[in-house]
Amino acid sequence: MKTIDDLGDLRGKRVLVRCDLNVPLDGTTITDDGRVRAAVPTLKKLIDAGAKVVVAAHLGRPKGAPEAKYSLAPVAARLGELLGADVHLAADTIGESATATVGALADGQVALLENIRFDPRETSKDDAARAALADDLATLADFYVSDGFGVVHRKQASVYDIALKLPSAVGGLVLKEVEALRKATENTERPYVVVLGGSKVSDKLGVIANLLGKADRLLIGGGMAYTFLAAQGYTVGKSLLEQDQVETVKGYLALAAERGVEIVLPSDTVVADGFAPDSPHDVVPSTQIPDERMGLDIGPDSIALFRSKLLDAKTIVWNGPMGVFEFEAFSAGTRGLAQAMVDAGEQGAFSIVGGGDSAAAVRLLGFDESKFGHISTGGGASLEFLEGKTLPGIAVLDA
């Protein structure tokens, strides 16, 4: 892949940068600006090179038309604060405002196009429709830089098709992501331990199947642990359970045993009366979850068990929280896991936090991000990378 340095002198050139600025909002307030901060180094590099920087990004899931609640206005304001310079927000994605806003840029200035998903062609399955949007985007720029790792697994106009229209390069963030994830997929230092959590087994079927041939241990927590427990014949009360995946999980357990991959499940569980931050709760063995209660976190014995399975690791990948970390009463498992990763890192392990809720948990629970080897900005993209899938937004840059 070409990098920004390979594009030559960019002074006065218009550079379209696809960033991932899809941040959580409470009204118009950004509650986690991690993705905005992650975009800053590449944008500063282009600003310092004297480029006219044009940023394309999405927010939320609009239905292919403008919706005020999905405007990038709060993102433009925060990005401007982080860059220490105005970010000029166009009122549209492709149109008079976008053309005028980009046309008015001086060298080293930044424009942000309005939510790219306001245009239905961005996510269209029709190649011709996406190509037409890419043609429109190409009128605004001389070069293209891919720096939104959270979307590189999507074959979308501003991710894939635009790279076929303009001289293209990978941005620093995507390059960093790919280099880090390759440490978990190529010539990986062992022991290699993968921690999977989150709510659903079905979201991670592909990565589990792929890792059973690569990882030394899989630690399973979060809601998906209950489907594994059910596959072993235990009842899980009202805990999250994907009954239709139980047979699949049984197959994984058998395959893991055959291949010598250790699968570690929670030994105890924090069970509650209901899904609420103040719900009455206690700790029970994971094999004895009462019928009327639901598991919302791994218990203290499980935290100690998982910690013991991490401290000798050389490579650790974590995707998905251990419990409902947003509720203080059910955050201890995720906090304990993150601390164990930090401690393993101090003993030489390279740790990857796989984006999404895991990255949000690290920040919400107050951890120093520099204590982890790498914190991904793309949960879905990092999972697909670990599955061994081809990521369209990466493949097109290699072409």
The residues assigned a catalytic role are 35, 200, 356, 380
Question: What sign does the dihedral 289-229-206-360 (CA atoms) show?
Answer: positive
DSSP conformational letter for 3:
B
- Largest distance between two CA atoms of the chain: 67
The three-point CA angle 188-191-193 to 5° equals 90
The DSSP line for 302-329 is: HHHHHHHHHTT-SEEEEES-SS-TTSGG
- DSSP letters of 198-256? SS-SGGGHHHHHHHTTT-SEEEE-STHHHHHHHHTT---TTS---GGGHHHHHHHHHHH
Alpha carbon distance, N-terminus to C-terminus of the chain: 8
343's enclosing H/E stretch is helix 332-346
Give the three-class secondary structure for 125.
coil
Tokens of 60: 């939320």
- 355 marked as binding residue: yes
164 is in an annotated binding site: no
- Does residue 58 have a known ligand-binding role? yes
Find out whether 179 is annotated in a ligand binding site.
Answer: no
Helices 172-182, 34-48: axis angle to 10 degrees equals 120
- Residue 337 assigned ligand-binding role: no
Amino acid identity of 77?
A
Q: Is 391 annotated as a binding residue?
A: no
Quick one: tokens of 366? 């107050």
Residue tagged 């594009």 (tokens) = 7
Instruction: Round to whole Å and give the CA distance between 156 and 182.
Output: 24
154 is known to lie in a ligand binding site:
yes
Alpha carbon distance 72, 114 (integer Å): 6
175 appears as a binding residue in the annotation: no
Positive or negative CA dihedral for 104, 106, 112, 116?
positive
Is 182 labelled a binding residue? no
Q: Does 22 show up as a binding residue in the annotation?
A: yes
Q: Are the C-beta atoms of 219 and 194 separated by less than 8 Å?
A: yes
8 appears as a binding residue in the annotation? no
Is residue 20 a known part of a binding site? yes
Q: 59: annotated binding-site residue?
A: yes
Cβ proximity of 273 and 295 under 8 Å: no
- Positions at the binding site for (2R)-3-phosphoglycerate: 35, 117, 154
Q: Which residues are annotated as a binding site?
A: 20-22, 35, 58-61, 117, 154, 204, 295, 326, 355-358
The annotated binding site for substrate is made up of 20-22, 35, 58-61, 117, 154
Binding site per annotation, positions for ATP: 204, 295, 326, 355-358
